[in-house]
Homo-oligomer: A and B are copies of this chain.
Amino acid sequence: MRVRLRDVAERAGVSVKTVSNVVNGYVHVAPSTRAHVQGVLDEMGYRPNLSARHLRAGRTGVIALALPELDNPYFAELTGFVVQAAEDNGWTVLVDQTDGLRERELFVAAGIRHHLIDGAILSPVALGAEDLVRRSPEDIPLVLLGEKISVGPVDHVAIDNVAAARLATEHLLSRGRTRPAAIGGQTGAESGVAHLRRRGWEDALTAAGLPVDESLVAEVPTFRREHGAEAMRTLLDRGPAPDAVFCFNDTLALGALRVLADRGLRVPEDVVVVGIDDVDDGRFAVPTLSTIAPDKEGIARTAVRMLAERFADGGADLSPRDVRAGFELIARESTMG
């Protein structure tokens, strides 16, 4: 059987509460008692029963991180930062994959298994702001990532997607290009990342006095590599090749690079390419991929901090916060050759 406070107390010849006090660093414990009890604790290898502790405290010390897909490298990297930030707070992270399914996202927003997690960080795909309006005080604190729901009744962290897309496009223009294509549009999505990044692309064109040519936009069903490739093929088949490509994320860009190579177009000489996310694969691609690097660590730390603030006294009364994370342009071979 596992070691309980009682077992330690018996062996040490003190009360259960004294042992508890030692474990929790309570002030009024005589140094000699503390040393003795600590010795017995170490000797017996006591570890607190979290179920019991949390039953008492009303918290579990576990938070959930729910992402649409774990095999997307951006999310995989972000996960690492969230786990780290949570660890610094003494929390454990339960990672969950929603597959972008409404049902699973609602499940997370509702607390997964009641009383199992204290709060959740969710990157919604299917959920709309309307799904979150009727949150009751029984619901756990929630922090949203990304811009599917940019204003709503809960906390939110994201980069400024319009500005990021505009910076990426301006970088392409600064390389002397005048016909930058955009891969990643999604019709029907009034809100969401795709919409915002497209607007950034348009803004850059307009600001530079260039026309917005619809034939330079390629739509994709998902942000996965294969659809980046497909979109690139469509663009090339459609007419005169663009002299630059702005992909709405790195995975799409990696697919596009592949097709450009297939078609014998040189990057960056013939076409320059830029993405968003700064995933590891882009650093090793041939050529290495220029990109907009969101401050992933900052996003993770902010999300965790927001949860911490909600847990604190009065946290439930805070009005919803909306934080913009930083980002920067990283120019690599695909635009600089």
Contact = CB atoms under 8 A, between A and B. Distances in A.
A60 B2 CA distance: 15
A51 interface: yes
Contacts of A62: 94, 116
A18 interface: no
A97 interface: yes
A229 interface: yes
A113 B138 contact: no
Contact of A114 (B47, B69, B93, B138): B47
A262 B281 contact: no
A266 to B, nearest CB: 12
Nearest to A77: B71
Given A80-B97, A95-B95, A47 B258 contact: no
Given A47-B115, A92-B116, A83 B71 contact: no
A69 B138 CA distance: 35
Interface in A104-147: 112-116, 138
A333 interface: no
A258 B113 CA distance: 44
A280 interface: yes
Interface string A276-312: 0000110010100000000000000000000000000
Contacts of A51: 51-52, 54-55, 60, 115
Contacts of A77: 71
A249 interface: no
A225 B115 CA distance: 41
Contact of A49 (B47, B93, B114): B114
The dominant DSSP class at the A interface is mixed
Contacts of A29: none
Contacts of A7: none
Interface string A209-230: 0000000000000000110010
A225 B284 contact: yes
A225 B285 CA distance: 9
A113 B92 contact: yes
B83 A97 contact: yes
Contacts of A50: 113-116
B94 A281 contact: no
A120 to B, nearest CB: 13
A113 B92 CA distance: 8
Given A76-B70, A97-B80, A261-B261, A49 B115 contact: yes
Nearest to A61: B113
Contacts of A49: 55, 114-115
A48 B286 contact: no
**A-B pairs, 10 with minimum CB distance:** A71-B76, A47-B114, A226-B284, A95-B95, A51-B55, A49-B115, A51-B54, A50-B115, A94-B94, A70-B76
Interface of A: 2-3, 45, 47-52, 54-55, 60-62, 69-71, 73, 76-77, 79-80, 83, 92-97, 112-116, 138, 225-226, 229, 258, 261-262, 280-281, 284, 286
